[in-house]
């Protein structure tokens, strides 16, 4: 057992603390090449990660960079800096700690490169940028340890893939590098350990005491939830009551728009003027920092927030977490619950607020899952090649390289361990030439081979590559500012698509206030204050998570079980009515309802495959129905069903869900759909085919969409085997298109399809009519309608 140096023991004692067993274990295993710590929130996880570093520097001293700390959030890096500076200065240790993120000034960044601190706190993107400099070996000389915080959050995204690729680069520069990962509770720790360690090195997993069981329930309200929508406005009085009964409450929402609307309604009802703030990723940084500071000073009673507060920033005395809207994902729910009682050994308290009738069922299923410790997770496939392409370009920025050596280096990254040489060569060739179809165009000729080494053809292109480092594909956001003479107060950001839908005079919510849209100046949305009571709804930043496979299964089982007594009466009655009028969805079968309504025919498919897959199903099935001459006109999807409407009734579902036909539908439909183009655009941007940032001008989102769409069309037409199209097809199995979930559904239902023909709308289908986000189908129905309408107009005009 490694004992703490006296200065540490004294410091622990002065605080009245003793070292946690897992902190001691981390110290004992300081020399392991890779080590993963799984600990609940508030378990002294960060200190556990840094203890070996602090002890080593305190005892042996160190010149230059000793430890690199990576966190997924800029704010977290700043927070850790504060938390770490306290013990370091109290123990008077000779350790310099600095953070480096997109917010760091360029002069500070230059100084950090010339004279790195002992501990540098940064993000995956800033690290990737650091490795792209020609003097990277000098910057990282002497680096001994790397700590990846909240690794579970990174492991699920391309940001993680980029990070682990950068680690392979660092490991090549500093062969003795030790890797430490800090993670919240996850369903498959071994999978994260494999990502963290240098392949095929082993990685020990330390499990800290998980702490007491959470105290979690559904919020009891007098009002019943509505049939549809996500606002949960009905719950406001009950939520306010809970806020009054607790010291500090965090009120989580799934989307920023919902958080804004809820916050607005909360204030309209907040007669006691309780101090309540709002915090989400679209708000201006200064605004967010004010809320964070007020929170730490204990001045707020509640904060309405989104995923921006999901990760481990210490918020002090939160004693209640309220989740508004179905949690969609049990693992995220558990992590959010952990935000309450951010102290070891105190149970977390949380309440769930379903936003509509169906979400009552989902919340109930989620509560069961939390009690059963049944966390969900989708295994990720092999490392994405678009990130690899970016990595190759970043490597080229740092100087000429040997392709064989780079390939060997990449094979040490867990996610890329199965990468074949042919796949690597295809990525390298794409980086060098843009691929076969684009070889005639100068702008994509980036690498050349000289003396056996690959290098940038024009060293000046390094600037452009560096400007476009990163894998985060936020929808394009525009800044919102108060209109003043010059540069009014910044309020936050909205999606470009939302801004484009505004006409001057429209009102919307941002940062809890209603503002009036005045106009667009370059890339800034200018607004003025407005006294209106009811805003036009803010639809910005509509990231919608799909309900996880595991949670969907629980919901289906719950419906199938026939026992709904545990559910509130209003929901149980609704389910009973559905059973009377039609039937309930069953495990292992697929229910399709077909009925006329309002002059159109409708088909409702209860696939329980999650929002994205149901959306994709809508697109493919409407194509199939087009071929069946049912003239579909549009569809809408939720996490559990898709409703398609058209001119002719669906009376025979034979072959509708044939796997081969759906696959073919996906391929055919790959050629033309917006979702696939968005998927392509994301990968093309990451891989460096399209530059989002150009020197001087920032390409506006619409221009970027325009050109990537046409680029997609042309590649699809003239070079269907292009690397980027291959990557796009692979991406289509997950994410926005999520075809993998459709296949999962097909596995589950086999050929057991129940088509029910009914005279009118059913209880379960009714909420879909109120659902937003309808997708029109461009097909024969459109031509039929144009023909009808033009003929009608010609006759009306007496011309035909």
Q: Which residues in this chain contact another protein in the complex, by CB under 8 A? A: 438, 440-441, 443, 697, 699-700, 703-704, 706-708, 710-711, 714, 717-718, 776, 782-783, 785-791, 793-794, 796-797, 799
Closer CB to another protein, residue 81 or residue 597? 597
Spatial CB neighbours of 509, under 8 Å, sequence gap ≥ 6: 260, 261, 263, 264, 515, 535, 537, 538
Closer CB to another protein, residue 405 or residue 800? 800
3-state secondary structure at position 182: strand
- Residue 654 tokens read as 């034979």
689 half-sphere exposure, CB direction, 13 A CA radius: 32
CB atoms within 10 A of CB 240: 19
Closer CB to another protein, residue 336 or residue 681? 681
Shortest spacing between CB 769 and another protein, in angstroms:
14
Which DSSP string corresponds to 101-159?
STTS-HHHHHHHHHS--SEEEE-HHHHHHHHTSTTHHHHTTT--EEEETTHHHHHTSHH
SS3 content of the chain, % helix, strand, coil (to 5): 45, 15, 40
CB atoms within 10 A of CB 538: 25
Closer CB to another protein, residue 220 or residue 714? 714
Shortest spacing between CB 715 and another protein, in angstroms:
9
Phi/psi at 581 (5° precision): -75, -40
Closer CB to another protein, residue 575 or residue 711? 711
Closer CB to another protein, residue 530 or residue 709? 709
Shortest spacing between CB 371 and another protein, in angstroms:
46
Closer CB to another protein, residue 220 or residue 782? 782
Spatial CB neighbours of 202, under 8 Å, sequence gap ≥ 6: 34
**Using an 8 Å Cβ cutoff, are 643 and 602 in contact?**
yes
Name the burial class of residue 243, with classes exposed (0-12), middle (13-18) and buried (19+) by CB atoms within 10 angstroms of its CB. buried
- Residue 670 tokens read as 């790959």
Closer CB to another protein, residue 293 or residue 694? 694
Q: How far apart are CA 447 and CA 688, in angstroms?
A: 13
DSSP 8-state secondary structure symbol assigned to residue 213: P
Shortest spacing between CB 787 and another protein, in angstroms:
6
Shortest spacing between CB 103 and another protein, in angstroms:
28
Shortest spacing between CB 386 and another protein, in angstroms:
18
Shortest spacing between CB 526 and another protein, in angstroms:
23
Q: Which among 717, 716, 733, 734 is positioned nearest to 725, based on CA atoms?
A: 716
Q: Which among 475, 512, 513, 507 is positioned nearest to 494, based on CA atoms?
A: 475
The alpha carbon of 742 is separated from its chain's Cα centroid by a whole number of angstroms, namely: 21
655 half-sphere exposure, CB direction, 13 A CA radius: 7
Q: How far apart are CA 377 and CA 362, in angstroms?
A: 17
Closer CB to another protein, residue 370 or residue 633? 633
Shortest spacing between CB 714 and another protein, in angstroms:
4
Shortest spacing between CB 521 and another protein, in angstroms:
18
Shortest spacing between CB 777 and another protein, in angstroms:
11
Q: How far apart are CA 758 and CA 38, in angstroms?
A: 52
Closer CB to another protein, residue 113 or residue 698? 698
Shortest spacing between CB 709 and another protein, in angstroms:
9
Closer CB to another protein, residue 217 or residue 697? 697
Shortest spacing between CB 692 and another protein, in angstroms:
11
Shortest spacing between CB 681 and another protein, in angstroms:
12
Name the burial class of residue 105, with classes exposed (0-12), middle (13-18) and buried (19+) by CB atoms within 10 angstroms of its CB. exposed
Shortest spacing between CB 438 and another protein, in angstroms:
8
Closer CB to another protein, residue 577 or residue 785? 785
**Using an 8 Å Cβ cutoff, are 315 and 296 in contact?**
yes
Strand order across the 524-529 sheet: 490-495, 477-482, 524-529, 513-521, 507-510
Spatial CB neighbours of 324, under 8 Å, sequence gap ≥ 6: 232, 235, 239, 251, 252, 253, 254, 258, 262, 353, 355
Name the burial class of residue 238, with classes exposed (0-12), middle (13-18) and buried (19+) by CB atoms within 10 angstroms of its CB. middle
Closer CB to another protein, residue 531 or residue 797? 797
Q: Long-range contacts for 6-12 (Cβ within 8 Å, ≥24 apart)?
A: 7/58, 7/91, 7/92, 7/93, 8/54, 8/55, 8/58, 8/91, 11/87, 11/90, 11/91
The number of residues making up the chain comes to 800
3-state secondary structure at position 706: helix
Shortest spacing between CB 726 and another protein, in angstroms:
18
Spatial CB neighbours of 73, under 8 Å, sequence gap ≥ 6: 123, 150, 311, 313
Closer CB to another protein, residue 404 or residue 788? 788
Closer CB to another protein, residue 404 or residue 787? 787
Shortest spacing between CB 711 and another protein, in angstroms:
4
Closer CB to another protein, residue 114 or residue 799? 799
CB atoms within 10 A of CB 648: 14
Name the burial class of residue 572, with classes exposed (0-12), middle (13-18) and buried (19+) by CB atoms within 10 angstroms of its CB. middle
Q: How far apart are CA 232 and CA 338, in angstroms?
A: 23
């Amino acid at each position: 057992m490694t004992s703490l140096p006296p200065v540490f023991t004294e410091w622990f004692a002065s605080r009245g603390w003793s070292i946690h067993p897992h902190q001691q274990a981390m110290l004992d295993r300081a020399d392991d090449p890779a080590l993963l710590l799984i600990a609940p929130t508030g378990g002294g996880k960060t200190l556990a990660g840094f203890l070996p570093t602090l002890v080593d520097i305190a005892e042996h001293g160190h010149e230059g960079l000793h430890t690199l700390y990576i966190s997924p959030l800029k704010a977290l890096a700043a927070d850790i800096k504060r938390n770490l500076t306290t013990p370091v200065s109290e123990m008077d240790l000779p350790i310099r700690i600095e953070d480096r993120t997109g917010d760091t000034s360029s002069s500070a960044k230059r100084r950090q490169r010339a004279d790195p601190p002992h501990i540098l706190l940064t993000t995956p993107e800033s690290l990737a940028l650091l490795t792209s400099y020609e003097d990277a070996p000098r910057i990282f000389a002497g680096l001994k340890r790397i700590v990846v915080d909240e690794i579970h959050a990174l492991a699920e995204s391309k940001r993680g893939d980029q990070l682990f690729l950068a680690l392979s680069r660092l490991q090549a520069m500093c062969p003795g590098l030790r890797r430490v990962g800090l993670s919240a509770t996850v369903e498959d720790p071994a999978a994260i350990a494999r990502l963290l360690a240098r392949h095929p090195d082993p990685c020990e997993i330390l499990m800290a005491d998980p702490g007491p069981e959470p105290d979690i329930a559904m919020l009891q309200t007098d009002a019943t939830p509505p049939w549809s929508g996500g606002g949960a406005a009905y719950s406001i009085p009950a939520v306010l009551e809970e806020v009054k009964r607790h010291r500090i409450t965090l009120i989580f929402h799934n989307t920023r728009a919902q958080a804004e609307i809820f916050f607005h309604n909360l204030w309209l009802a907040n007669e006691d003027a309780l101090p309540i703030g709002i915090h989400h990723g679209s708000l201006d940084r200064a605004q967010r920092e004010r809320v964070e500071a007020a929170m730490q000073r204990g001045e707020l009673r509640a904060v309405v927030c989104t995923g921006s507060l999901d990760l481990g920033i210490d918020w002090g005395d939160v004693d209640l977490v309220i989740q508004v809207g179905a949690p969609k994902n049990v693992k995220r729910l558990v992590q959010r619950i952990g935000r309450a009682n951010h102290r070891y050994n105190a149970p977390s308290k949380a309440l769930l607020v379903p936003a509509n009738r169906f979400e009552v069922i989902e919340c109930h299923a989620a509560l069961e899952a939390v009690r059963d410790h049944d966390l969900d997770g989708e295994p990720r496939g092999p490392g994405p090649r678009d990130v690899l392409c970016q990595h190759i370009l970043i490597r080229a920025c740092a100087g000429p390289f040997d392709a064989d050596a780079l390939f060997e280096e990449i094979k040490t990254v867990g996610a890329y361990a199965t990468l074949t040489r042919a796949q690597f060569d295809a990525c390298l060739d794409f980086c060098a030439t843009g691929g076969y179809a684009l070889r005639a165009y100068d702008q994509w000729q980036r690498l050349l081979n000289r003396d056996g080494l690959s290098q940038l053809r024009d060293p000046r292109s390094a600037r452009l590559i560096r400007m476009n480092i990163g894998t985060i594909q936020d929808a394009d956001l525009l800044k919102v500012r108060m209109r003043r003479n010059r540069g009014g107060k910044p309020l936050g950001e909205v999606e470009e698509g939302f801004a484009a839908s505004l006409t001057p005079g429209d009102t919307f919510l941002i940062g809890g206030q209603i503002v009036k849209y005045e106009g667009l100046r370059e890339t800034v949305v200018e607004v003025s204050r407005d006294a209106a009571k009811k805003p036009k709804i803010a639809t910005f930043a509509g990231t919608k998570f799909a309900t996880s496979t595991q949670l969907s299964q629980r919901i289906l089982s719950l419906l199938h079980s026939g026992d709904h007594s545990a559910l509130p009466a209003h929901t149980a009655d609704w389910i009973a009515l559905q059973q009377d009028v039609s039937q309930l969805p069953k495990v292992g079968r697929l229910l399709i309802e077909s009925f006329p309504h309002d002059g159109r025919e409708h088909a409702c498919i209860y696939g329980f495959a999650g929002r994205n897959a149901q959306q994709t199903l809508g697109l493919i099935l409407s194509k199939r129905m087009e071929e069946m001459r049912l003239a579909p006109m549009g569809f809408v999807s939720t996490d559990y069903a898709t409703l398609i409407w058209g001119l002719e009734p669906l009376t025979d579902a034979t072959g509708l869900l044939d796997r081969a036909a759906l696959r073919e539908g996906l391929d055919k439909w790959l050629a033309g759909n917006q979702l696939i183009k968005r998927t392509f655009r994301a990968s093309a941007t990451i891989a460096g085919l399209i530059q989002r940032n150009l020197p001087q001008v920032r390409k506006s989102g619409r221009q970027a969409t325009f050109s990537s769409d046409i680029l997609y069309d042309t590649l699809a037409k003239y070079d269907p085997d292009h690397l980027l199209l291959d990557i796009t097809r692979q991406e289509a199995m997950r994410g926005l298109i999520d075809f993998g979930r459709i296949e999962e559904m097909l596995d589950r239902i086999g050929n057991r399809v129940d088509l029910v023909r009914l005279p009118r709308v059913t209880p379960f289908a009714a909420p879909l009519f109120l659902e937003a986000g309808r997708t029109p189908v461009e097909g024969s129905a459109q031509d039929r309608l144009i023909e009808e309408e033009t003929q009608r107009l010609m006759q009306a005009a007496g011309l035909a």
